Amino acid sequence: MMCLEYDKAILIVDMGFRMPEEDMPGVDYIIPNISYLRGKEKNILGVLFTHGHYDHIGAVPYLVGRLGNPPLFASGLTRGIIIKRQEDFPHQPKLNITQVKDGSRINLGPFKIEFFKQNHNISDNLGIFIQTPIGNIVHTSDFKFDDNPVYDLPTNFKKLKEIGSRNILLLMSDSTGAEEKNHSLSEKDIMENLEEIFKQAEGRVIAVTFGSLINRIQQIIALSEKYGRKVAVDGYSMKTNVEICKKLGYIKSHKGTLIKINQINNYPDNKVTLLCTGAQGEGQAVLMRIANREHRFVRLKKQDTVIFSSSVVPGNERTVQVLKDELYRQKSKVFHYKMMDIHAGGHGQQEELAEMIRIMRPKFFVPIHGQYSMLVNHAELAHAQGIPEKNIAVVENGQVIDLTAKRILIERKPVESNYVMVDGLGVGDVGEIVLRDRQTLAQDGMFVIVAIIDRNTGKVRGSPDIISRGFVYLRESRQLLQDTRKKVIEIVNRTAGSGGAVNWSYVKDNVRNNIGDFLYTRTQRRPMILPVIIEV
């Protein structure tokens, strides 16, 4: 999510979420921190969306209401996806969302906006040209250049060059591919390789990819038709997207090609394709359920061909390997992008990024999207294309750029941008402390000690209760528990004194520290120790 501000007028581009890091167990998403916009809601003239991927639209249900429900602008498919998703959040306001397309122009206060088509791996992706009082800005959206896309128009270089001729003050360009050499693969090459697999497949084809990779889904459907196969689509995100795209005309298929998943066994194996989710080895996705023999209608067979037409998201390598192994065990034929080019990313690589810079010939350059290392590499690329270093600003989340017709500056003071985590219904209520506790609990479990103290004697009554999980297997640790109880009694009786006013937090600290050390000596583990002391 990015804000452009001129005088008081605010224009927002995109409103996505990111997935949690590995050290954030239980967190669903991370959404943009909108503290800076608090109190400025009435100045928000609109939100422009570049395309329908969740990292660009996913935070809408969480934020749009809190921003005063401003007008939204999105292409047909993007709009369809945003509206569909909003249905999952019933208490949100109705969206005020205008459809735009390649060539659409809108005026919002000081901003004169024109959208232009860009190739990516979802249809209806739009770059944005913004005329402002200080100069013209181009936002590329996620993009790649493709002269031979499949079921899509090739990159319109003529149009891009025309935009580039408008004296561009600032180019903001997608950096995701900035560490990859050369040019991204054309979808045509992918199509040809996929076709080779379809040609040879003797049994069913099971194609897994991202539910959001609309172009690839279209390719698989088209190839299935060419080779006389029906297509069953399975997996929530995939089914939803195919449904939206079919309805809006972004996926084309012959009548009768798409069948329901429960009909898949009505056809000979060499007459069906299963298009489904699970390319990342996600536990609940369709392919994993098939591999685990938990799918309602599909069991793997020896002649099945499984195509992983997607990259592996960093961090998922091991789960994908586990899944792949299981497919091999069940004797499927497996094809993945390391074996042949059956997947292309949606992001331009170094050649394309350099070309974009040459086309736009901007005065100033800001690399956007991607990890910091990618931003830096993109900045170096821009410098190599002749943009002076002082005209390039590499910024991270929360940093503010101060731009005039003459210079680009990074403001010293960033706006608030710490992570806002969504966990269940909670938005922003899971913070450092909760996460640290979850990490500690995961490492060595927890150990609750409940001791009842007799108010009259100041001594522990009976035997303390111990509740422990994730620490040791309790049934096999009776001696340890018995020794611990004895130690607790001793510590409490010693530190609580003999009746009268007792410093309970002193007693608890003693229990926590001493029992912690005791358990560590015995096990070399450090469970979270939680003493509860109750006077009766």
CA 293 – CA 192 distance, rounded (Å): 32
- Asked if 534 interacts with its own copies (CB under 8 A), we say yes
Beta bridge partners of 306: 206, 334
> Edge to edge, what strands does the sheet with 230-234 contain?
258-259, 230-234, 272-276, 205-208, 305-308, 333-335
Residue selected from 328, 358, 459, 517 as contacting its own copies according to rule CB under 8 A? 328
Contact criterion met (CB below 8 Å) for 126 and 100: yes
Q: Cβ closer to its own copies: 414 or 445?
A: 445
| Cβ neighbours, 10 Å, residue 372 | 12
Among candidate residues 53, 336, 347, 378, the one labeled active-site is 347
Q: Which of 372, 404, 486, 490 binds its own copies (CB under 8 A)?
A: 372
Give the binding range for its own copies (CB under 8 A) out of 94-102, 296-304, 410-418, 422-430: 422-430
321 binds its own copies (CB under 8 A): yes
Nearer to its own copies, 329 or 459 (CB): 329
Reduced to 3 states, what is the DSSP secondary structure of residue 534? strand
CA dist., res. 344 & res. 50, Å (int) = 20
Q: Is 354 helix (H, G, I), strand (E, B) or coil?
A: helix
User: Does position 501 bind its own copies by CB under 8 A?
Assistant: no
**Closer to its own copies at the Cβ: 401 or 448?**
448
338 binding its own copies? (CB under 8 A)? yes
Region of residue 29 (phi > 0: left; psi between -120 and 50: alpha; otherwise: beta): beta
Q: Give the DSSP per-residue string, 124-158.
A: S-EEEEEEETTEEEEE--S----SS-SSSPPP-HH
Backbone phi, then psi, for 452, in 5-degree steps? -100, 130
- Distance in angstroms (rounded) separating the CA atoms of residues 443 and 531: 19
Cα separation of 446 and 435, whole Å? 15
| Cβ at position 189, least distance to its own copies in Å | 18
DSSP assignment letter at 470: S
Residue 530 near its own copies by CB under 8 A: yes
Among 79, 279, 423, 492, binds its own copies (CB under 8 A): 423
Mark out the alpha helices in 330-428 (DSSP H runs). 350-360, 372-384
| Helix residue ranges per DSSP H, 143-249 | 157-164, 187-200, 214-226, 236-248
Q: Is 509 in the site for its own copies (CB under 8 A)?
A: no
How far is the C-alpha of 136 from the C-alpha of 138, rounded, in Å? 7
Indicate which single residue of 469, 497, 506, 509 sits in contact with its own copies (rule: CB under 8 A). Answer: 469
Q: What tokens does 35 get?
A: 């503290």
x/- site string to its own copies, residues 9 to 38, per CB under 8 A? ------------xx--xx------------
Of 433 and 501, the one with the shorter C-beta distance to its own copies is 433
- Does 410 bind its own copies (CB under 8 A)? Our answer is no
Choosing from 106, 427, 446, 489, the residue that interacts with its own copies (CB under 8 A) is 446
Q: Which candidate in 152, 174, 423, 444 is catalytic?
A: 174
Q: Say if CB 424 and CB 505 are below 8 A apart.
A: no
Question: Shortest distance, CB of residue 430 to its own copies, whole angstroms?
Answer: 7
Choose which of 262, 292, 404, 439 interacts with its own copies (CB under 8 A): 439
Provide the minimum distance between the beta carbon of 322 and its own copies in the complex, in angstroms, as a whole number: 8
User: Which residue, 32, 47, 37, 35, is CA-closest to 8?
Assistant: 37
- Considering only 445, 458, 481, 504, the residue that binds its own copies (CB under 8 A) is 445
Chain-centre distance of CA 366, in angstroms?
Answer: 23
Among 256, 296, 473, 498, binds its own copies (CB under 8 A): 473
Q: What is the spatial distance between Cα 463 and Cα 475, in angstroms, rounded to a whole number? A: 18
Residue from 236, 178, 116 nearest 365 by CA: 178
Q: Which stretch binds its own copies (CB under 8 A): 153-161, 193-201, 258-266, 443-451?
A: 443-451
By rule CB under 8 A, what string of x and - marks binding of each residue 40-79 to its own copies?
A: ----------------------------------------
Using the rule CB under 8 A, give the single segment among 142-150, 352-360, 433-441, 503-511 that binds its own copies: 433-441
- Is 347 among the catalytic positions? yes
Q: Check binding of 517 to its own copies (CB under 8 A).
A: no
- Quick one: 218 or 311, whose CB is closer to its own copies? 311
Work out how close the CB of 536 gets to its own copies at its nearest, in angstroms, rounded to a whole number. Answer: 5
End-to-end CA distance of the chain: 56
Residues 6+ apart with CB under 8 A from 316: 280, 281
- Nearest by Cα to 357 from 85, 172, 509: 172
How is residue 460 annotated by DSSP? B
Q: Per CB under 8 A, does 424 bind its own copies? A: yes
**How many residues touch its own copies (CB under 8 A)?**
66
Complex with its own copies: residue 228 or 426, whichever CB lies closer? 426
Footprint of its own copies on 148-167 (CB under 8 A):
none
Interacting residues toward its own copies by CB under 8 A:
21-22, 25-26, 179, 314-315, 317-319, 321-322, 324-326, 328-329, 334, 338-339, 371-373, 376, 423-426, 429-431, 433-435, 437-446, 448, 450, 452, 461, 465, 467, 469-473, 476-477, 522-525, 528, 530, 532, 534, 536
Just list the catalytic residues: 174, 347
